[in-house]
């Protein structure tokens, strides 16, 4: 009961502390260096899952550590609260998305508080609040004014039952909607885009400014941007000297190996007058049937290649005549939508050539090549074609045979056969959603003035709250009271509001800036604050956001930089991507249905289903509702307490690895924290007992030295481990220290200031991981020391710096306000080292040697002895 009360007190001090302990919004600490620890804010689905707990525990640990180190730390939390699930809940449960979202936020916030995470709650934001989305709208208008937000016709996934556009990720492999199960249609609609392509080069090149990002994520970003250097080349339609087809190639030097020209089924030449005039009716019919087939299939996963000859010939820059074909391998929206086919050196072209029996001409010399004339009848052609090393010389290329590739490229360019260019895979960011629960796009459509941005003083364009959900499409379209308005330019004209809302990725592309100034009524954020606190020092989150969210945030940051609102080019200095949280998953061997662990007799081999008596398969999988293998964080807090849960999560696996949940492991962590409690309470009990009778005996100098050595070594190890985000090794160093302290002799425990100080060091180092345990025991020590005036005189008489850095300020009752201990070099050197001699994996001798001699001398000495 006493402990419970104490814990309660801890909570209140901690809550109080998190307001006072972190910087207030408006003032920047002049004396402290800043540290911005950010974890990805959650979607308020209703309850935290273990993945959330893992992310937030990591950023909490880092934040607490940096605060104790004296940094001005920002560790904010908020809600990514727009999006489809709220609308679906509204349709299914007839509850307003607003109410549903808010109640989810409330319960998740409760959970975060119960986890005792030190968040700056005074910085809280919610993207669905008009105080937030007002600024998202302003950001849209700024982009619009710079020509970076625009509307164009685009082909989208249309769900004819729900009557909405779907993101690609919401269409399954069979081309069905994830929600309505309708076959999704391709539809051309006017949509809003952000011109992210305008920054493709910067988004690519500035990755080099980020040594704190893993190569893996950087290459995922580069892949998505897909920059390649190449050439445009023109091919001329044989029947019409005016009709050119331009191709994009990264391998212009293979020009003499071109044996066909392939275009996509959407290529404009297919509607060209000359082209059609010279196509027979029979061929026209064949082509249109083909196009129809490709396009209906084109939704996804066309494994089977389809290609057709158009019956036309085209002339290459080097005056070769080759066939013009249409092929499903050519993407309509990459490069020019046309490809020069080089089947000898490109796998896809090779398959196309095989399919249509087109010639294959090798033009690059291979090291191992004996036979330069590949014919399509050769069986081993595939391996011969692509696997062997090239010499960098051309063959079968007219006058260019035996030339070096680079010289060829120069000469082709000089002749005007190809124009150098750069092509990108990245497309502009489609931000329109035909959905209610999102940030309204602040645009008015006027019959006279066209698209007109809502004047800034009229922002936010509020989302109407009282609405009826029909489940069909975007209900903003049916709210004529909301939709009809006056044009802000010609004033009297009846105009209409844009009814599309923004992709929720827009909301999350700038939230880290609003955290810094969430109460600002006058501007999106203060540049002074942003320039002080940005960039984010550590960003913790899931790998699933490694591409889009990071790319969008980087794009918006660069835009704000161009607007001179911020002075940094990249938002996130270091990324920490956490692995999955997994647990045993039980499935009935016969029905394959997932089973709840409580329905399984797990002590049997194999486990047996209590429901059917069938044997049960066990696999370790990502925790998820559908697999019934998830653990509820609240239940875990009830059962173990937040400290144990957090210590376990950090101890069980390094951050980037997946964490496989096991109950023994968490029990072990609970026991360890109990042992720390015992260490302190035993100390106090023994002190009380000894002070009443025994005389201090002579202290063992050697033991005192080794206490100091252990303490200082642990300080360095824990500090380094947190800096490197290897929390698990930090905790194991702490375990080593606590075990060591347990074994110290009773005499030293009772009579040495070194031991007292080392207990305090242990608690200080424990604080970022298990703040309640640390605080509880700190209280015990402070109270005991005050009551007994045990070490105060001694502590006062010794070097104050020593105490400050190794065992904290004596009378400060709140441990999180203590300074992080610093290790002292001189105590980290052992006078003697133990040299372990092993032979055939058996220890044969342990020799004590002075530590200041070299390894070589040590060995020599040993051999001599």
Contacts of 204 (CB under 8 A, 6+ apart): 221, 222, 225, 227
Q: How many amino acids of this chain bind Zn ion (CB under 5 A)?
A: 7
Minimum CB separation from ligand ANZ for residue 310, in Å?
A: 17
Nearer CB in complex with ligand ANZ: 5/383: 383
DSSP 372: -
Does position 337 interact with ligand ANZ (CB under 6 A)? The reply is: yes
CB of 278 to ligand ANZ, least distance (A): 24
The rounded distance, in Å, linking the Cα atoms of 170 and 184 is 10
User: Which partner, Zn ion, ligand ANZ, none, binds residue 487 by CB below 5 to 8 Å per kind?
Assistant: Zn ion
Give the residue, chosen from 10, 139, 165, 342, that forms a contact with ligand ANZ under the rule CB under 6 A: 342
Per the listing, tokens 């950023």 go with 59
Query: What span, in angstroms and rounded, lies between the C-alpha atoms of 857 and 849?
Result: 10
DSSP class per residue in 573-609:
S-EEEE--EEEEEEEETTT--EE-GGGEETTSSS-EE
Q: Does 250 bind ligand ANZ (CB under 6 A)?
A: yes
- DSSP element (H, E) containing 713: helix 701-723
Of 22, 126, 423, 823, which lies in the binding site for ligand ANZ, with binding defined by CB under 6 A? 423
Residues 743-762 that bind ligand ANZ (CB under 6 A): none
20 binds ligand ANZ (CB under 6 A): no
Which of Zn ion, ligand ANZ, none does residue 248 bind to, with CB < 5 to 8 Å depending on kind?
Answer: ligand ANZ
176 binds ligand ANZ (CB under 6 A): no
Per-residue tokens: 84 = 């489809």
Quote the CA–CA distance of 564 and 18 in Å, as a whole number. Answer: 32
Residue 854 has which token pair?
A: 């070299």
385 binds ligand ANZ (CB under 6 A): no
Residue 684: what are its φ and ψ, rounded to 5°?
-65, -45
Which of 213-221, 242-250, 481-489, 569-577 is the region at the interface with ligand ANZ (rule: CB under 6 A)?
A: 242-250
330 binds, among Zn ion, ligand ANZ, none (CB under 5 to 8 A by kind): ligand ANZ
- Identity of the residue, 345 or 646, whose beta carbon is nearer to ligand ANZ in the bound complex: 345
Written as six digits, the tokens of 423 are: 């092509």
Closest CA to 558 of 540, 572, 577, 542: 572
CA 150, CA 158: separation in Å to the nearest integer? 21
Tokens coding 229: 């250097």
Q: Are 478 and 488 in contact (CB under 8 A)?
A: no
Q: Is 330 in the site for ligand ANZ (CB under 6 A)?
A: yes
Nearest approach, Cβ of residue 173 and Zn ion (Å): 46
Q: Does 450 bind Zn ion (CB under 5 A)?
A: no
Angle at 484 between CA 479 and CA 487, to 5 degrees: 155
Nearer to Zn ion, 446 or 529 (CB): 446
| Token couple for 20 | 């006072």
**Rounded Cα–Cα distance for residues 354 and 694 (Å):** 97
| Beta-carbon contacts of residue 292 (< 8 Å; ≥ 6 apart) | none
Q: Pick from 487, 560, 581, 763 the residue near Zn ion by CB under 5 A.
A: 487
Residue 547 binds Zn ion, judged by CB under 5 A = no
Indicate if the alpha-carbon torsion angle 178, 183, 186, 188 is positive or negative. Answer: negative
Stretch that binds ligand ANZ, among 9-17, 237-245, 336-344, 660-668 (CB under 6 A): 336-344
Contact with ligand ANZ (CB under 6 A) among 58, 90, 171, 340: 340
Q: What is the DSSP string of 426-494?
A: ---EE-EE--SSSPBP-EEEETTTEEEEPPGGG---PPP-S----SSS-GGGG-HHHHEEE-TTTSSSE
Selected binder of Zn ion within 479, 489, 699, 824 (CB under 5 A): 489
Minimum distance, C-beta of residue 253 to ligand ANZ, in the bound complex (Å): 9
CB of 113 to ligand ANZ, least distance (A): 49
Window contacting Zn ion (CB under 5 A); options: 275-283, 298-306, 488-496, 857-865: 488-496
Q: Name the one range near ligand ANZ by CB under 6 A: 114-122, 248-256, 382-390, 585-593.
A: 248-256
Cα angle 605-609-615, degrees, rounded to a multiple of 5 = 50
Helix axes 642-652, 727-742, angle to 10 degrees: 110
User: Choosing among Zn ion, ligand ANZ, none, which partner's interface includes residue 400 (Cβ < 5 to 8 Å by kind)?
Assistant: none
Applying CB under 6 A, the span of 46-54, 337-345, 668-676, 691-699 interacting with ligand ANZ comes to 337-345
Q: Which of residues 103-132 bind ligand ANZ (CB under 6 A)?
A: none
Interacting span for Zn ion (CB under 5 A) from 330-338, 375-383, 491-499, 819-827: 491-499
254 touching ligand ANZ, by CB under 6 A: yes
| Residue 725 burial (10 A CB sphere; 0-12, 13-18, 19+) | buried
**Can you give the three-state secondary structure of 33-82, one letter per residue?**
CEEEEEECCCCCCCCCCHHHHHHHHHHHHHHHHHHHCCCEEECCCEECCC
CB neighbours of residue 286 within 10 Å:
16
248, 525, 555, 727: which one binds ligand ANZ (CB under 6 A): 248
Interface with ligand ANZ, residue 339, by CB under 6 A: yes
User: Judged by CB under 6 A, which of 11, 150, 290, 334 binds ligand ANZ?
Assistant: 334
Nearest to 104 by CA among 83, 133, 120, 118: 83
Beta bridge partners of 313: 323
Kind and range of the H or E element at 659?
Answer: strand 659-660
Q: Does 346 bind ligand ANZ (CB under 6 A)?
A: yes
* Cα–Cα distance measured from residue 105 to residue 119, given in angstroms and rounded to the nearest whole number: 15
Query: Applying CB under 6 A, does 553 fall inside the site for ligand ANZ?
Result: no
Residue 467 touches which of Zn ion, ligand ANZ, none (CB < 5 to 8 A by kind)? none
The separation between CA 399 and the C-alpha centre of its own chain, rounded to angstroms, equals 52
Q: Which does 339 bind (CB under 5 to 8 A by kind): Zn ion, ligand ANZ, none?
A: ligand ANZ
Least distance CB 407 / ligand ANZ (angstroms): 18
Q: Which among 164-172, 337-345, 440-448, 749-757 is the span making contact with Zn ion, rule CB under 5 A?
A: 440-448
496 binds Zn ion (CB under 5 A): no
CB of 625 to Zn ion, least distance (A): 50
The residue range among 27-35, 332-340, 350-358, 606-614 that interacts with ligand ANZ, by the rule CB under 6 A, is 332-340
**Size of interface with ligand ANZ, in residues (CB under 6 A):** 17
Single residue of 66, 151, 345, 717 touching ligand ANZ by CB under 6 A: 345
Asked if 228 is part of the footprint of ligand ANZ (rule: CB under 6 A), the reply reads yes
Which residue in the set 18, 22, 249, 719 belongs to the binding site for ligand ANZ (CB under 6 A)? 249
Please tell me what DSSP assigns to residue 380.
T
596 neighbors 628 (Cβ within 8 angstroms): yes
Angle, in degrees to the nearest 10, between helices 753-766 and 771-788: 150
Residue 446 near Zn ion by CB under 5 A: yes
Taking CB under 5 A as the criterion, the residue among 91, 356, 449, 810 binding Zn ion is: 449
Q: Pick from 490, 620, 685, 859: which binds Zn ion (CB under 5 A)?
A: 490
| Helix orientation angle between 642-652 and 50-68, rounded to the nearest 10 degrees | 90
Angle between helices 663-692 and 727-742 (to 10 degrees): 40
Binding region for ligand ANZ (CB under 6 A): 228, 248-251, 254, 330-331, 334-335, 337, 339-340, 342, 345-346, 423
Binding region for Zn ion (CB under 5 A): 446, 448-449, 487, 489-490, 493
């Amino acid at each position: 009961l006493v402990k419970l009360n104490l814990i309660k007190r801890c909570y209140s001090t901690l809550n109080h502390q998190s307001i006072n302990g972190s910087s207030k919004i408006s003032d920047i600490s002049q004396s402290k260096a800043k540290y911005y620890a950010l974890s990805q804010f959650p979607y308020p689905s209703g309850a935290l899952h273990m993945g959330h707990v893992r992310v937030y525990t990591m950023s909490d640990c880092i934040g607490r550590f940096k605060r104790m180190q004296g940094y001005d730390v920002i560790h904010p939390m908020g809600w990514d609260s727009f999006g489809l699930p709220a609308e679906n809940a509204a349709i299914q449960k007839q509850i307003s998305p607003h109410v549903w979202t808010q109640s989810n936020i409330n319960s998740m916030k409760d959970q975060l508080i119960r986890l005792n995470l030190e968040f700056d709650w005074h910085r809280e934001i919610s993207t669905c609040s008009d105080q937030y989305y007002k600024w998202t709208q302003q950001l849209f208008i700024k982009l619009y004014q710079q020509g970076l937000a625009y509307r164009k016709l685009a082909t989208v996934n249309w769900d004819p039952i729900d009557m909405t556009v779907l993101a690609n990720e919401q269409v399954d492999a069979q081309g069905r909607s994830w929600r309505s199960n309708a076959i999704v249609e391709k539809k051309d609609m006017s949509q809003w885009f952000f011109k992210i392509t305008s920054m493709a080069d910067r988004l690519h090149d500035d990755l080099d400014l980020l040594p704190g990002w893993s190569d893996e994520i950087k290459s995922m970003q580069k892949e998505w941007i897909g920059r390649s250097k190449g050439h445009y080349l023109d091919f001329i339609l044989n029947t019409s000297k005016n009709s050119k087809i331009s191709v994009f190639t990264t391998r212009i030097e293979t020009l003499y190996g071109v044996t066909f020209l392939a275009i996509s089924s959407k290529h404009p030449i297919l509607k060209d007058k000359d082209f059609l005039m010279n196509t027979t009716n029979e061929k026209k019919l064949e082509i249109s049937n083909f196009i129809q087939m490709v396009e209906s299939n084109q939704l996804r996963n066309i494994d089977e290649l389809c290609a057709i000859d158009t019956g036309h010939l085209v002339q290459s820059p080097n005056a070769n005549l080759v066939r013009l074909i249409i092929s499903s391998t050519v993407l309509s929206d990459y490069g020019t939508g046309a490809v020069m086919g080089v089947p000898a050196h490109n796998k896809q072209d090779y398959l196309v050539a095989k399919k249509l029996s087109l010639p294959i001409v090798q033009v690059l010399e291979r090291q191992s090549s004996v036979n330069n004339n590949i014919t399509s009848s050769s069986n081993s052609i595939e391996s011969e074609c692509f696997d062997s090393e090239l010499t960098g010389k051309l063959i079968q290329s007219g006058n260019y045979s035996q030339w070096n590739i680079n010289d060829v490229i120069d000469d082709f360019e000089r002749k005007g056969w190809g124009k150098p260019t750069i092509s990108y895979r990245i497309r502009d960011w489609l931000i329109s959603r035909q959905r209610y629960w999102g940030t309204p796009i602040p645009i008015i459509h006027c019959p006279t003035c066209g698209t007109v941005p809502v004047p800034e003083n009229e922002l936010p364009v509020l989302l109407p709250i009282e609405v009826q959900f029909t489940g069909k499409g975007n209900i903003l379209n049916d709210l004529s009271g909301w939709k009809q308005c006056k044009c802000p330019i010609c004033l009297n004209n009846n105009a209409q509001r844009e009814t599309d809302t923004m992709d929720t990725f827009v909301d999350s592309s700038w939230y880290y800036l609003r955290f810094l100034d969430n109460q600002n009524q006058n501007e999106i954020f203060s540049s002074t604050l942003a320039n002080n606190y940005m960039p984010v020092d550590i960003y913790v989150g899931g790998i699933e956001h490694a591409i889009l969210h990071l790319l969008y945030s980087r794009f918006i940051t660069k835009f704000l930089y161009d607007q001179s609102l911020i002075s940094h080019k990249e938002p996130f200095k270091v990324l920490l991507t956490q692995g999955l949280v997994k647990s045993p998953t039980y499935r009935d061997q016969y029905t394959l249905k997932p089973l709840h662990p409580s329905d399984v007799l797990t002590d049997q081999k194999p486990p047996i289903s209590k429901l059917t008596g069938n044997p049960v398969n066990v696999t370790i999988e990502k925790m998820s509702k559908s697999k019934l293998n998830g653990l509820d964080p609240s239940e875990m807090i009830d059962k173990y307490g937040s400290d144990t849960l957090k210590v376990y999560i950090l101890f069980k696996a390094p951050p980037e690895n997946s964490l496989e949940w096991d109950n023994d492991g968490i029990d072990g962590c609970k026991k360890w924290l109990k042992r720390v409690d015992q260490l302190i309470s035993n100390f106090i009990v023994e002190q009380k007992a000894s002070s009443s009778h025994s005389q201090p005996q002579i202290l063992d100098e050697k033991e005192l030295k080794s206490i100091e050595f252990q303490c200082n070594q642990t300080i360095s190890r824990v500090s380094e481990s947190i800096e490197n985000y290897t929390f698990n090794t930090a905790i194991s160093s702490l375990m080593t220290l606590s075990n060591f302290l347990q074994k110290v002799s009773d005499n030293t425990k009772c009579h040495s200031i070194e031991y007292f100080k080392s207990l305090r060091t242990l608690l200080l180092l424990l604080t970022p991981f298990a703040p309640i345990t640390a605080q509880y025991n700190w209280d015990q020590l402070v109270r005991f020391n005050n009551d007994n005036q045990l070490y105060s005189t001694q502590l006062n008489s010794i070097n104050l710096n020593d105490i400050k850095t190794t065992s904290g300020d004596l009378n400060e009752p709140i441990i999180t306000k203590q300074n992080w201990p610093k290790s002292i070099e001189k105590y980290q050197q052992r006078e003697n080292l133990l040299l372990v001699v092993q032979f055939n994996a058996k220890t044969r001798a342990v020799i004590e040697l002075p530590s200041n001699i070299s390894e070589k001398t040590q060995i020599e000495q040993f051999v001599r002895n």
